[in-house]
Amino acid sequence: MTSHIDHLLLLLEGRLDPTAEARVMQAAALAEELHAGQRRPDGLPYITHVVEVARRVLRWCPDADADALVTALLHDAIEDQAARLAERGPDTAPTEREQALAVVASAFGATVAQRLELLTNPDFEALPQERFGTLSTADLTERKAQLYAEHVAHAVRADPWVAAIKLADFSTNAWCLANVSDPARRAKLREKYRPVMQLFRELLEDVPRGHPLFAARESLRAQLEEVWARDYA
């Protein structure tokens, strides 16, 4: 395994029982295999991103269990690598994504599969035309941003652990716009991310006791407001 996953193992020490820890490391190994050859925009191996999302969930959420961490490690697996996952099981589902989710459910349980389904973006190439018909380029960009915000809002309201994982994922992208060197791309991402930033601002305003993000709510609010003032206001 990579040093990134070794570091995750160190962070897990004492947090989970041996059986639960083994499930998390199984998911980490699967994520490393599925994302092999895939790179982040900064050129780093993609596994660095999924491990970082799991690390943030561990840091923010004292009650993070194996299901939460497995979901964090596999949060992009269905969206990016459904074909590779689908090949691991019998061809019993009508679509590649459904087959991939069935493989995950078999290996890690229904809860993980349900959360991954919530975290997986729909097809934003086909969906705007289905919903709105033929659009101009400008209108298409706007509608995609609208549909993305709707999707995230539904996901974070459906499951509090999905909210924690999505914020961990989102923070590695939307909170780092200064790292995007191309001004046009940075502007496009700003418009895409702004409504979701507002969604998380509202969520962190009133996090109920018992929510996975409750313990970290104040520090997360401060970080988010700093990013909002710098990049989105």
Q: What are phi and psi of 14, to 5 degrees?
A: 85, -5
**What average pLDDT does this structure show over 39-52?**
90
Residue 18's pLDDT is 94
Burial environment of residue 143 by CB neighbours within 10 A (0 to 12, 13 to 18, 19 or more): middle
Give residues with Cβ within 8 angstroms of 143, minimum separation 6: 128, 131, 132, 135
| Higher per-residue confidence, 179 vs 175 | 175
154-167, pLDDT tens digit by residue?
999 999 999 999 99
Q: pTM (2 decimals)? A: 0.92
> How many CB atoms lie under 10 A from the CB of residue 92?
8
| Higher per-residue confidence, 221 vs 9 | 221
**Which DSSP category does 117 fall into?**
H
Q: Where are the domains of the chain?
A: 1-120, 122-233
121-147, pLDDT tens digit by residue?
887 666 656 676 666 676 667 777 888
Q: Does domain 1-120 have CATH number 1.10.760.10?
A: no
Q: Which of 128-132, 175-179, 188-192 has the lowest mean pLDDT?
A: 128-132
Average pLDDT, the chain: 90
Between CA 90 and CA 103 the distance in angstroms is 9
Sign of CA pseudo-dihedral 75, 81, 85, 91: positive
Residue 150's pLDDT is 92
